Amino acid sequence: MPRGSYLFTSESVAEGHPDKVCDRISDAIVDLFLGHDPQARVAVETLATTNHIVLAGEVRGPSSITPDMLEATARHAVKDIGYEQEGFHWQNAKVDVLVHAQSADIAVGVDAAGNKDEGAGDQGIMFGYACRETESLMPAPIHYAHAILRSLAEARHSGAAPGLGPDAKSQVTLLYENGRPVRATSIVVSTQHAENLDQAEVREIVRPHVLNCLPKGWMCGEDEFYVNPTGRFVIGGPDGDCGLTGRKIIVDTYGGAAPHGGGAFSGKDPTKVDRSAAYAARYLAKNVVAAGLADRCAIQLSYAIGVSKPLSVYVDTYGTGVENEEKLAAILPSIVDLSPRGIRERLSLNRPIYARTAAYGHFGRAPDADGGFSWERLDLVDSIKQALS
C-alpha cells in the first residue's frame, strides 16, 4: 500500500555542470566512432578542470579516427555547451588524448565466434523503472527538476537570458499524499551568472522558468524558493570544480525514486550492458505501466561478462500490479530478446545517438525520428497483453 503523506526530493544538473561536460564529451566520442563504424567499441572517460581536458580509455574502431579528431570532438562539445570563459574555453583549453586499443582479453569474451553469440561486455545489474506520476511515466521530482534546467538552457542558448552561464543545478521537493505528488514544498536552483547580476536579479530571471515548468498551483512558498543560496555563482563549470564522466548516475536515471545498478552510461558503446540493458529495462517497465498492468514497475536484469543471456529477470510492481510478477518476469524475455545483441538490434542502438542523452536524463524523453531514445517507445503494449492472455 502507498504511504500517506511524505516528501521526496530529486536533483538535476545542467549540461554545463562539470560532470555533465565530461559526459557530453565522452558521448560525443561514442557518436564519432559509431558514425564511422556501427560495430565500433568505445569506453572513454573524460576529466575536465581549469582549461584542461583529459580523455582516457579503450576503443576499437577505424584507424582513420585520429587523436586530432578526438580532440576536435571534445572542443566542439564544449563549444556547443557554451563555454567561452577565461577559466574554461573550448578553443584555449589543453586537451590530452590518452586513448588506446581495447583489451584483447575483453574482446575475446564479448565478440561472437563460431556457435558463441556476442556476450555481455561486463558483469553487473541494471534497473529500469516507470510510474504514472507524469505523462512521460517518470517520477515527478526528477521530471520537473530536469524541465527547469532545460528551460533555463533554452533561454540561455536563444539569447533570451544572456546573463546566465552554462553551469546550473536544480532540486525539487514534492509533497506526496496517498502516494501521489500534489505540490512542491521547496525548489532550489543554483545557476552561474554574469558578474554584474546580483542574487535578486538572478532570482527573477529564474522564477518564470520554475512557474512554467510546474503544474498550476504547485509552486512552493516564497521562503522555500532558493536561488543561488550562497548569493554568488560567477565562477562555474570545470574552472570551479573538477568534472568526471559517470558521476551523475542518479540524475541520469530516476532521481533516486528507483534502484540503480551502479553502472554509468556515458562514454560506452551499446555492447556495454551498463548502458544497453538499462535502456532495455526502462523500455520493458514503461510498456508494462502503459499497458495498464501496474501503476509502478521496476525491472532488474543481470549479466556476466562474455555470456549472452541475462542471468536473471526480476519484476516488482510495488503492490500496484494486476498480474503476477513472476508471470511477467517469465513472459518479458519472450517478447524482447534480452541478449546484448538482441537489445542492440531491437532498439537500433548502433547509431550516433548518444551525445543528446548526456544531459537532462536518459529517460522520459520523446523518441526521435532518427532512432534516438528508442527505448521510450510504447510499441510493446499489445504484445505484453497478448502474451499474458
pLDDT tens-digit profile of 153-182? Answer: 999 999 999 999 999 999 999 999 999 999
C-alpha dist (Å) from residue 299 to 260, 314, 326: 11, 6, 11
The binding site comprises: 17, 19, 45, 58, 102, 167-169, 232-233, 241, 247-248, 264, 268, 272
What CATH number is given for 6-14+140-237 in this structure? 3.30.300.10
The binding site for L-methionine comprises: 58, 102, 241, 272
> Domain 124-132+272-388 class?
alpha beta
> pTM of this prediction?
0.95
Span 211-234, pLDDT tens digits: 999 999 999 999 999 999 999 999
Span 340-356, pLDDT tens digits: 999 999 999 999 999 99
The binding site for ATP comprises: 17, 167-169, 232-233, 241, 247-248, 264, 268
Sheet of strand 243-244: strand arrangement: 94-101, 52-60, 41-49, 243-244
CA 127-129-134 angle, 5° bins: 155
Can you tell me the mean pLDDT for 88-112?
Answer: 82
Span 101-116, pLDDT tens digits: 987 666 555 665 554 5
- Predicted local distance difference test score (pLDDT) of residue 250: 98
- Predicted local distance difference test score (pLDDT) of residue 118: 77
Write down the mean pLDDT value for the chain. 95
- Predicted local distance difference test score (pLDDT) of residue 116: 52
The binding site for K(+) comprises: 45
Contacts for 208 with CB less than 8 Å, ≥ 6 apart:
none
- Cβ count near 208 (within 10 Å): 11
State how far the Cα of 80 lies from the Cα of 126, in Å rounded to an integer.
31
Lowest mean pLDDT among 8-22, 109-123, 369-383: 109-123
CATH topology identical between 6-14+140-237 and 18-110: yes
Domain ranges for the chain? 6-14+140-237, 18-110, 124-132+272-388
> Domain 18-110 class?
alpha beta
The binding site for Mg(2+) comprises: 19
